[in-house]
Structure 1
Amino acid sequence: MANAPRYQQIKTFIQEKIEARVWPVGTRIPTEYELCDQFNVSRMTVNKAVRDLVAEGLLERTPRLGTFVTEPKAESPLMDIRNIADEVNARGQTYHSDIRTLKCISAPADVAMRLGVMVGTSVFYSEIVHYGDAIALQLEQRWVNPALAPDYLAQDFNQTTPNEYLSTVCPVNTIEHTVEAIQASSTIQQALAMRSDEPCLLLHRRTWSQQTLVSAALLYHPGSRYKLTSRTDR
């Protein structure tokens, strides 16, 4: 570490304080001027270390108040589909869900278009809030084609997730993702324990199996607790 760039040494110092819980979530870290004096470096060097940690979600800057240790954001890959329960458990958190709705409905026009069926077709609908520990991470609204997953409503989604079940009975070969930032409705804000002024990430997802559209989902995420990533190898 002695041969590492100075900004990397400062970054590692801060990371170790956070990981050791010396600086728990909510702690205001030393100012950039204090870190400059401690490490005998320029403010530009300290600023780079802090900016990196802000970008990585470990720190959060609050104007006029300082820089604080923040709860790391949950993260999902944009170009793939992963079981949210596995993602939560991999971060060392405990996964659980709140099943708000699980029923058969007659598809209105918007759902029929989204799922590629005729208006009035019977489709399955589920609405589930997914948690990491006691923190709501995602509100999932999903519509499923009964012809491809006839036993969907019989599943215990406290023991599995819709994603895990559908991936087993209808292996996915095509994914469509669209992401937008929205102002969430009061119902969604309440379900996800969001502030009224907090941005919401909405992921539109449709999945196909053997060229047949299986499900369409709207996945809502609190902007302060979640991020979506994408990586392309060339």
Structure 2
Amino acid sequence: VVFNVAAIANNNLQDLKTGQLVESTPSKQQWALVIGVIASALVIPPVLDLVNKAYGFAGAPGASAHALPAPQAGLISALGQAVIQNDPEKWQLMGWGVLIGAGIITLDWLLSKTTRSMRVPPLAVGLGIYLPTASTLMVTMGALVGWWFDRGADRTAKPDATKQLGVLLASGLIVGESVLAVIFTALVAFTNNQFPIGVVGDSFSTASEWLGGIAFVLVIYALYRWVGRALSAA
């Protein structure tokens, strides 16, 4: 109960802080939350059911060989089992986690007092510990791309507007990837084929990963260059 109260309080503080940044009011934020809850209740359950039928989730009954990992769900499940079952080993691991977290927070505070730019964000470290590398690697790459773009934006005539367009572009990529993933999942579920749009065999898998990565880098570079030039010409 205490854990849930703390999590909800933290969520409310984050919402209020965000509302202050965008000059919103608590009442408008509450209405936005109501709309968000209704929309989520209508959209998320059928999408999750579709994903479960197409792939399944790692650790769940009936999961396929291509089951999707669910690290957050696994973490919360492990915490709940440790509390309910009162497992000494799991409590010990939780204690070590608390000590590691306290150490990282202390190190971050010391670096903030002794250096200008070197920091160890506790949230980033925590995400790196329990999220798979496939997820954290792209977060790191995104941070590097954002840093590179912000440096270029600072040299333009409208740095703030350029950075905002960069954020919008990144947000569009995230949303677009999610929409395409749902569409692809629907194809897998309805055709009962794990590779419904595959045009080459398994022998091309390694080459396709390299080609896809190179194409992604080139597209990102071209899009961000286009954003910078569009604002410079405006």
TM-score, length of structure 2 as denominator length = 0.20
Structure number with the higher helix fraction is: 2
Structure (1/2) with the larger strand percentage: 1
